Structure 1
Amino acid sequence: MSILKSLLKMRKKEYPVQPQEAAETGPDLKSMSLEQLKKRINAEFGSTVDLSMDELKTEGKDALLIYLKTMIDTKLLKETILQSLSVKEDGIELTTEDDLKSLCKEKFGGAGYQLVESFDDIITALLYGNIIIIFKDMEKALSLSMDSGEDRSITEPSTQTVIRGPKDGFVESISTNVRLLRKRIKNKHLRFEKFIIGSETNTSVYIGYMKGISNEKIVQEVRKRLGQIKVNAIFESGNIEELIADKSATPFPLALNTERPDSVASNLLEGKIAILVDGTPFVLVVPAVLVDFFSIAEDYYQNFMMGSFLRMIRYLSFMIALITPSLYVGILTFHHELLPTPLLLGIIAQREGVPFPAVIEVLLMEVTFEILREAGVRMPRAVGQTVSIVGALVIGQAAAEAGIISNIMVIIVAITAIANFVSPTYSFAAAARLLRFLLIIVSAFLGLYGVLIVLVFIVAHLSSLRSFGVPYLSPVAPFIIEQQKDVFFRFPIWSMRKRPAYLKSQNPEKFPKTGSPSPPPMEGEQSN
């Protein structure tokens, strides 16, 4: 009984099986002796040090046990599989495929076993952490999941911290990530479909969606784009994001990436599709619209007025990070009249000994800060934060005292950098960093008119973007008045009954109309 319980605890790991193709090209298992099979598999793996092939005898039949020691739980193998195979089952003679199936049901029922019949299937199963048992004179081999399960434990997301809300985050194991979503959405309509992408890495990619809620056309489009990917390797969800994006020539992300299971779960219930990639804690959510990069799950865990205020802070911070340096350059170069006279005189006095024009001064500081930011990220964690903060203070102060830059320039760069960190999604903040340099250069030649022209082109560009056919500026452009309850402000949850109209969900209503609860009447007061 203990053996059966141990087997039931083993996680079932599926792997791609292509029996028809393998049957045409691979040799017949029954026609080869165990020694020949051993030599053939050893040749396939090139005598790698972690390949183990042991001969054993079970049910009076010679067999070959094959596995990669680095991919399986060897302790579980000894305590369950080998012990189970050592016990002979009465009435079972391994002569036909039906006998093999009967043996599997008796010894490994519920353990998620598979029968494979080609070398391609055997090699793939071994690489996915399975053990293979080949019985002499049998046409099929037995494959059992025996994954080591040595994954990173669930911890708080490192890139998306939270004050109030769940503290768990996705990890590199795709099966663990699916479990985190299942824990939040206990619904039989939550579906996951598997794809194997990468001719050399054979990376598992899942798409998750809510059957009966998600738009089937969008789900089909996701399937189609994933099926069309023909690359040799996939290591991170960013590879998938670039390969399935509607338009690659844009600095704006067309898929939302997040480490937070609660955020993905809420998007699934809205009708969106999640893309999970084995080996990374970042999950993609599509379709993505501009509003998604300014709202976070924590907005819905606190009072709606505070959530609305914080969301407006994010919009404001994005604009500050985008245009503040270019405004400084444009005003000092062409539009002095826009500043109050005392402020203008103070800035001119500070810049009296600065040898560079405003645009060179801004570019010099912006590039320096980008170098410090990258150095702080890449350096060891113990000293990275210290280097980025102290480096910025020391270099800024020293440059101002040396007369290379003005003090106001240090303030401008500091405000811009801090505002850029407000963005909850790193990939969206990176878009502002890139466009900021374009605005600075244009403002040096055309002033604020050039800044305005570039902003118009940015808005036009955003209007042309699509994420799986959904307009990127939805529900603002095209304007949908019913959907404005969760764009710039967050209305109370009880008032947001509809799912986003731009998704064209099969079930547009999230819950029936209830209204806000009213307080009970006081004692002695008549209720209406």
Structure 2
Amino acid sequence: MKKVFKQIISSMKIDEVNNQTTPDDLIEDQEGKKNISPSLNKNEEEFNAVFDKTFDFKIEKVLVGNSEGLILYLSTMVDAQAIKEAIRPALVVAHKKQETISSSSDLKLFQKEYLPSQNVVDVSYNHEVVWYILSGYTVLLVGGLSDGLAIMTTTTDKRSIDQSQTQTIIRGPQDSFTEVKTTNVSLLRRRIKNPHLKSENFIVGKDTQTSICMVYLDDVANDSIVNEVRKRIENISTNAVFDSGNVEEYLVDKVITPFPMIYHTDRPDAIAADIVEGKVAIVVDGSPFVLSTPVVFTDFFQVSEDYYQGFMMASMLRMLRYLAFLIALLLPSMYIGLTTFHHELIPTGLIVSIQAQREGVPFPAVVELLLMEITFEILREAGVRMPRVVGQTVSIVGALVIGQAAVEAGVVSHVLIIVVALTAMAGFVSPIYSFANATRLLRFALILITAALGLLGTLIGFLLIITHLCNLKSYGVPYLAPMGPLIMEDQKDVFVRLPMQVMQQRPNYLSAKADQKEDQKQPLPSLSKEEGS
């Protein structure tokens, strides 16, 4: 059995690839790069063949000075207004002046004179032309030259910055990330105005060519963590990336665990705070959820609002989240253990009431509990997947109607409805959805082991969970830090949140280059030529 389990684990390991996916993967002939042809007719035939059966691919013949040229673009990827206002007027003026463009240097002079304010890239190979067209650029080719210009005309259609839909707060910033990578990076830069904020770009996905950005403070983040994140991103081998969830499994340590090993959120302030502490953020183009690593267990009990209100209230709410986690994890299994195996631990009046309610119930307590838990999970999933207009109504009404009907029919007891409802509400307290999912999964495992061994099974299961947590690491950082190993200096922001004046040191478990969050203030340079003015 152990041998079979090892084979399963080994088959799940991710094969590492040494080469990063780049635009060069578009080259069909990997032995060499094909230069752009000086013949416009040949270029037109070749790129028409590449974009065959592509209705939005456009090739237009234009005049560039006194030479013929082509502009190539995808109409669904470019901003037509940008072509109309930037490129076409430049071509008209150059033609009126009869500019001579017969060499690469002439083309560069044309770009500097007529397209000075545009984001322009020189292209020399066919695969580069294809890459920039797919990226929303308009490519300009001139007859007789083996070079061209890729002019940025990407469409500006995107979802506006809105409130967070997954982690709502009452006090604090109300913006959230969008599906556009550049917008997300700008949201971070607005909060961290520091020249040490670095943003490295990678291209991942053979078919999708998705852009991924790694953001960190190079004077704070530990070099070994940054290098490891960079290495894992470069080693991603996949055909398609549509969301940060697609790359998350490639970035985590190779362990089998229900607990999330990377923090994800759509709140810019939360990611900015992680970066300032010394963590590394991963922004995936097309995803409104940004990843942050390394992660520890306590990160999933902290929310941004803890730092926007008084420390006493924040501390109380944080302890409430820990309590809710224990209730969501242990309450159903403890109910099974107490009512089935250990009646002596329940007060006499309460046990009489519970047994009186269960007198007509035809199922054992564990079957009764599993029946209601599975029913509630179905209702929750239905509420999420159904149209938003009716989903919430169906989940609430369904729970009330089914619960009341089950009690009246004698299928379940009243006290069980209370246990299931309290467990569900405690599960919703968790600020991170992926962590709440881990609690849901482990709850069923504890119910089954308790049904076999009683409260001893609950204790064994809980100890196994703690042992598993002690063995987890995220980029070399113990998952239970700073509780295990115990780091006294970091206890200021674990179960309680002490005043801001006390929390001036970055977490020790991150081994950040700069320990203090506030370095000694440096005088600002004078903005006036006259000293003292």
TM-score, normalised relative to structure 2: 0.91
1:346-367 deviation line (CA, Å, top 9, x unaligned): 0000000000000000100000
1:131-177 deviation line (CA, Å, top 9, x unaligned): 11111111111101111110000000100001000000000001110
Q: CA deviation at 1:402?
A: 0.2
- Code of the residue aligned with 1:412 in structure 2: it is V
Structure 1 unaligned spans of 5+:
1-14, 515-528
Residue from 139, 142, 145 that aligns with 1:132 = 139
Checking the alignment, whether the CA contact within 8 Å between 1:23 and 1:117 is kept in structure 2 is no
- Code of the residue aligned with 1:310 in structure 2: it is L
Distance 1:134 1:27 in 2: 15
Q: CA deviation at 1:92?
A: 4.8
Alignment of 1:60 with 2:79, yes or no, is no
2:5 is matched with none
- Code of the residue aligned with 2:252 in structure 1: it is A
Residue from 54, 58, 69 that aligns with 1:48 = 54
Q: CA deviation at 1:248?
A: 3.8
Residue from 454, 460, 482 that aligns with 1:453 = 460
1:196 is matched with 203
Distance 2:26 2:133 in 1: 19
Alignment of 1:75 with 2:48, yes or no, is no
- SS of equivalent residue, structure 2 residue 53: coil
Alignment of 1:299 with 2:306, yes or no, is yes
Residue from 162, 165, 170 that aligns with 2:172 = 165
Distance 2:472 2:392 in 1: 36
Q: CA deviation at 1:512?
A: 5.4
Distance 1:327 1:27 in 2: 69
C-alpha RMSD of matched pairs (Å) = 1.7
Alignment of 1:402 with 2:418, yes or no, is no
Residue from 251, 266, 269 that aligns with 2:273 = 266
Alignment of 1:85 with 2:91, yes or no, is yes
- Code of the residue aligned with 2:85 in structure 1: it is E
1:167-209 deviation line (CA, Å, top 9, x unaligned): 0000000111011111111111111000111111101000000
The percent of aligned pairs where both chains have the same amino acid is: 49
Q: CA deviation at 1:24?
A: 5.3
Alignment of 1:257 with 2:254, yes or no, is no
- SS of equivalent residue, structure 1 residue 495: coil
2:392 is matched with 385
Q: CA deviation at 1:113?
A: 0.4
Q: CA deviation at 1:110?
A: 3.4
In the TM superposition, 1:76-115 aligns within 5 A as 76-88=82-94, 92-115=99-122
Checking the alignment, whether the CA contact within 8 Å between 2:26 and 2:131 is kept in structure 1 is no
Residue from 424, 441, 445 that aligns with 2:448 = 441
Q: Which stretches of structure 1, 4 residues or longer, exceed 6 Å deviation after superposition?
A: 19-23
In the TM superposition, 1:75-474 aligns within 5 A as 75-88=81-94, 92-474=99-481
- SS of equivalent residue, structure 2 residue 93: coil
Distance 2:314 2:30 in 1: 59
- Code of the residue aligned with 2:92 in structure 1: it is S
1:476 is matched with 483
Q: CA deviation at 1:93?
A: 2.2
Checking the alignment, whether the CA contact within 8 Å between 2:22 and 2:204 is kept in structure 1 is no
Distance 1:300 1:315 in 2: 17
Distance 2:94 2:79 in 1: 24
TM-score, normalised relative to structure 1: 0.92
Residue from 481, 499, 514 that aligns with 1:492 = 499
- Code of the residue aligned with 1:495 in structure 2: it is V
Distance 2:24 2:359 in 1: 75
| Number of aligned positions between the proteins | 499
Distance 1:338 1:42 in 2: 79
Label 1:513 to 1:100 Cα distance change in 2 as closer, same or farther (>3 A): closer
Structure 2 unaligned spans of 5+:
1-20, 522-533
Residue from 494, 507, 515 that aligns with 2:514 = 507
